[in-house]
Amino acid sequence: MSLPRPVPRSSMALFAEASASAPTSNEPSGLFQAYTRIASIATTLFPLWTVIFTGIALKSPESFAWFTTEYFTGALAALMLSMGITLKPEDFVKVAARPNSVFMQFGLCYAMMPVLALGLGKLFGLDNALLAGMVLVGSINGGQASNLCTYIARGNVALSVLMTTATTIGAIFMTPLLCKGLLGAVVPVDAVGIAMSTIQVVLGPIALGMFLNKNFPKFVKSILPFAPVVGVVSTCLLVASAVAQVAEPIMNAGLALQLPVLLLHLIGGLVGYLLPRATGFGEVASRTMAIETSMKSSAFGFLLAKLHFGQYAARVPSAVSVVWMALTGSMLAVVWRYIPVPAPKVFDRTLVERYPPFEPKKFLGKIFGKKE
């Protein structure tokens, strides 16, 4: 998984606070202290676990055959619940009061990324089917795993959640529109299905987590140190399950496809960070936008390609993207976790505040030495 004004206390700060106070005795037990240290190390090694689970899924896809759609949905809901217990309703109120970052990320997701995907596909000489699949990856919504990566990176989790929700709802009309405009292909999207899935596996668990945080704070404080582990395990299982379903096309994809897909997520993340910083957004909001932009819902792209693109090769870029999306996002998260975030004097300035509008009268007055 993301989340603006002085940032609400970060999830990791809450994690540390809970670790210092749990269990219920005055002093944490030696066993619990050992757990918190191990959990911190395990969370830091998130990219490594992603690589290991991906490797197992590629070498032995049947190992994850038990992870059916029901388990997949449950793991995603568990991931969202582990994020929800770190949030409060006022976090979303603060974000809603400053929606400029949500609008910026929506533009990055549905303007910059599709064009970047098309450009990289043409640069690497992909054939029409692979190019179509590449553009599809760039034209889909942000993935829910971005919320966890934002959590680890000390980003704004509430903002990440809203961004994921906004791009997921936006996929109902933006993905078909972009595929039609860039490829000349019409990709039908089940709007009602997407909306219901978003409510069930994203908004519902997060709302439940916030309810528990607000009404049962002592209980939440006692389980909060386990949230990062639940999030990491859930994400690794989700990635492995998706990879196992498309192991063969991933293994058959050569470097000519692996490289442009990697660059799509990597460059997307860099632009998703640098552009907001250059236009006046704060460090935390910029980190959140970078992760959201880099991490696409590749599994959804694979499903669309499978259902609506005639050529089998069109689904291969989405399959390759499942791996590179998870690795890129998790590496960004771990790197940023250990880079302190300075407390800004002015958080998330608007473009007008950073770049005041041109005033001809004032400009001419300065040229001719006239005072206002």
Q: Are 289 and 152 in contact (CB under 8 A)?
A: no
What pLDDT was estimated at residue 180?
A: 82
- Greater confidence (3 vs 191) lies with 191
**How many Å is the maximal CA-CA distance in the chain?**
79
- Span 59-66, average pLDDT: 90
C-alpha 240 chain-centroid distance = 17
What pLDDT was estimated at residue 366?
A: 59
| pLDDT tens digits, one per residue of 328-342 | 988 898 899 888 887
Percent of the chain with pLDDT over 90: 21
Average pLDDT, the chain: 79
- Which residues lie below 8 Å from residue 323, measured CB to CB, with a gap of 6+? 54, 239, 243, 250
Cis ω before 344 (30° cut-off from 0): no
Q: Count Cβ neighbours within 10 Å for each residue of 225-237 and write b for 16 or more, e otherwise.
A: bbbbbbbbbbbbb
Q: Assess whether pLDDT exceeds 60 at residue 160.
A: yes
Q: Which domains does the chain have, with CATH numbers?
A: 11-341 (1.20.1530.20)
Q: Are 229 and 38 in contact (CB under 8 A)?
A: no
Q: Please, which residues bridge with residue 142 across strands? A: 296
- Answer yes or no: pTM beyond 0.85: no
Run of H or E including 223:
helix 217-223
- Distance, in Å, from the CA atom of 151 to the CA atom of 156, rounded to the nearest integer, reads 7
Q: Are 332 and 294 in contact (CB under 8 A)?
A: yes
Long-range contacts from 308-314, C-beta under 8 angstroms, 24+ separation = 308/185, 308/187, 308/188, 309/129, 309/132, 309/133, 309/136, 309/185, 309/187, 311/129, 311/132, 312/129, 312/249, 313/127, 313/129, 313/130, 313/133, 314/129, 314/130, 314/132, 314/133, 314/136
What pLDDT was estimated at residue 363?
A: 57
- Distance, in Å, from the CA atom of 106 to the CA atom of 226, rounded to the nearest integer, reads 32
For tokens 């911190």, what's the residue?
Answer: 40
Most confident of 26-40, 137-151, 187-201: 137-151
| pLDDT tens digits, one per residue of 291-312 | 999 999 887 787 777 777 777 7
- Distance, in Å, from the CA atom of 138 to the CA atom of 141, rounded to the nearest integer, reads 8
| pLDDT tens digits, one per residue of 225-267 | 888 788 788 878 888 887 888 788 778 777 889 999 999 999 9
Residue 137: pLDDT band by 50, 70, 90 thresholds? very high
Residue 303 exposed, middle or buried by CB count within 10 Å (0-12, 13-18, 19+): middle
Residue 221: pLDDT band by 50, 70, 90 thresholds? confident
What pLDDT was estimated at residue 67?
A: 86
Residue 364 exposed, middle or buried by CB count within 10 Å (0-12, 13-18, 19+): exposed
The region that residue 184 occupies, defined by phi over 0 for left and psi between -120 and 50 for alpha, beta otherwise, is left
- Span 8-15, average pLDDT: 44
Dihedral sign for Cα atoms in the order 54, 58, 60, 65: positive
Query: Nearest Cα to 246, choosing from 58, 51, 56, 55?
Result: 58
- Distance, in Å, from the CA atom of 297 to the CA atom of 354, rounded to the nearest integer, reads 33
- Distance, in Å, from the CA atom of 148 to the CA atom of 18, rounded to the nearest integer, reads 18
Q: Are 39 and 152 in contact (CB under 8 A)?
A: no
